[in-house]
C-alpha cells in the first residue's frame, strides 16, 4: 500500500470564542461576520479581530475563527506565550482545564478570562475512511515525516483525530512550520516506527535519494 500524503497547514495565533464572551466584547446580540471558509468543514474566518494581552505584552489583530465554541480558547505558539508572559501549556483543542488565562480587548471593551490559553498539540484531522487506509485509531499518536529535500524532519507525538466532519490535513503552529523548509503545498506521511507498516521506509529512502541526486 502506498503512503498517503497529508497536507500540512500552518495555524497562526487565533481565538475560538464563546457567544457569551463575544457579546461582552462586541455587544449583545452581535454575531460573527463570515469572511471565508477554512479547510475544515464548517469552520470559517470571521471579520472581527481581538487584541490578546498578557503580563509582558500584547498581540493585536488576532483572528477569530467561527462558529462559536462552548468555551473561549486562545491558541498560541510557544514563542507567542513567552512574548506575552503566560505559561506555554500544550493541550489538545477543547482541553482547557488548568490552563492560563489572558485579557481580551476589542476597542474600549476588555474581558479577563481565567483559562483557555493553550499551545495546540500537533494533530491530524481525518475521516474514518482515511484512518482505515492508514490503519490508525482516534487519539493515537504517530510520527509524521515531512516531504522536503532541503530540510525534512520527523514530527513526533502527532495526535490522530477522526471524524466524518473532518477533511484530511495536519495542523502545526508557526514555530513548528518554521522548523522545516516546505514547498508551496507542504505535506507529510505517517511513519509508524513500532508495530505498524503505514509507511514504507524503503520507498521513502528511494524518494529521498532521488531528490538529493536532483540537487547535485
- Write the CB contacts of 68 (distance below 8 Å, at least 6 apart in sequence): 17, 18, 19, 22, 32
pTM of the model: 0.85
- How far from 123 is each of 28, 78, 161, CA to CA, in Å? 35, 16, 7
Q: Are residues 159 and 84 in the same domain?
A: no
Q: Does 168 reside within a domain?
A: yes
**pLDDT tens digits, one per residue of 43-70:** 999 999 999 999 999 999 999 999 999 9
Residue identified by cell 509507511 is: 199
Q: Are residues 127 and 115 in the same domain?
A: no
∠ CA 195-167-89, rounded to 5° = 70
For the record, the C-alpha cell of 115 comes out as 483559562
Q: Which pLDDT belongs to residue 193?
A: 57
Q: Does 6 reside within a domain?
A: no
Last residue of a domain, one of 102, 120, 138: 120
Q: Are residues 150 and 209 in the same domain?
A: yes
Q: Are residues 22 and 111 in the same domain?
A: yes
Q: Which pLDDT belongs to residue 200?
A: 47
Number of domains the chain is built from: 2
Q: Are residues 141 and 57 in the same domain?
A: no
Burial of 212 (0-12, 13-18, 19+ CB in 10 A): exposed
Q: Which pLDDT belongs to residue 47?
A: 98
Beta bridge partners of 58: 53
Q: Are residues 20 and 107 in the same domain?
A: yes
Q: Are residues 21 and 104 in the same domain?
A: yes
Q: Are residues 173 and 96 in the same domain?
A: no
Q: Which pLDDT belongs to residue 186?
A: 87
Query: Do residues 105 and 51 lie in contact, with contact meaning Cβ atoms separated by under 8 Å?
Result: yes
**pLDDT tens digits, one per residue of 169-215:** 999 999 999 888 667 788 899 986 555 545 444 555 566 666 666 65
Confidence category of residue 120, pLDDT binned at 50, 70, 90: very high
**pLDDT tens digits, one per residue of 16-51:** 999 999 999 999 999 999 999 999 999 999 999 999
The 10 Å CB-count burial string (b at 16+, else e) for 113-132 is: bebbbbbbbbbbbbeeebbe
> Which domain covers residue 94, as residue numbers?
12-120
Q: What is the radius of gyration, based on Cα positions, of the chain?
A: 19
Q: Are residues 92 and 70 in the same domain?
A: yes
Q: Does 189 reside within a domain?
A: yes
Name the percent of the chain in helix, strand, coil, to the closest 5. 20, 40, 40
**pLDDT tens digits, one per residue of 125-141:** 999 999 999 989 999 98
Q: How many residues does the chain have?
A: 216
Q: Which pLDDT belongs to residue 202?
A: 53
Q: Which pLDDT belongs to residue 1?
A: 44
Q: Are residues 171 and 110 in the same domain?
A: no
Cis peptide leading into residue 67 (ω within 30°):
yes
- Write the CB contacts of 89 (distance below 8 Å, at least 6 apart in sequence): 98, 99, 100, 117, 118, 119
Q: Does 5 reside within a domain?
A: no
Q: Are residues 181 and 149 in the same domain?
A: yes
Last residue of a domain, one of 85, 120, 155: 120
Amino acid at each position: 500500500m502506498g503512503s498517503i500524503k497529508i497536507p500540512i497547514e500552518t495555524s497562526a495565533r487565533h481565538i475560538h470564542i464563546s457567544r457569551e464572551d463575544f457579546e461582552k466584547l462586541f455587544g449583545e446580540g452581535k454575531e460573527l461576520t463570515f469572511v471565508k471558509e477554512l479547510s475544515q468543514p464548517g469552520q470559517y474566518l470571521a471579520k472581527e479581530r481581538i487584541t490578546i494581552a498578557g503580563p509582558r505584552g500584547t498581540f493585536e489583530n488576532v483572528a477569530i475563527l467561527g462558529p462559536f465554541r462552548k468555551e473561549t480558547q486562545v491558541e498560541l505558539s510557544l514563542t507567542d506565550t513567552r512574548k506575552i508572559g503566560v505559561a506555554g501549556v500544550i493541550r489538545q483543542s477543547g482541553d482547557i482545564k488548568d490552563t492560563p488565562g489572558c485579557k481580551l480587548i476589542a476597542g474600549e471593551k476588555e474581558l479577563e478570562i481565567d483559562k483557555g490559553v493553550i499551545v495546540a498539540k500537533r494533530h491530524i484531522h481525518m475521516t474514518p475512511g482515511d484512518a482505515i487506509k492508514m490503519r490508525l485509531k482516534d487519539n493515537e499518536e504517530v510520527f509524521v515525516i515531512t516531504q522536503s529535500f532541503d530540510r525534512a524532519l520527523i514530527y513526533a507525538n502527532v495526535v490522530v483525530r477522526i471524524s466524518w466532519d473532518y477533511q484530511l490535513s495536519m495542523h502545526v503552529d508557526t514555530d513548528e512550520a518554521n522548523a522545516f523548509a516546505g514547498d508551496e503545498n507542504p505535506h507529510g506521511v505517517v511513519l509508524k516506527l513500532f508495530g505498524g507498516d503505514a509507511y514504507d521506509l524503503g520507498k521513502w529512502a528511494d524518494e529521498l535519494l532521488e531528490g538529493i541526486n536532483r540537487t547535485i
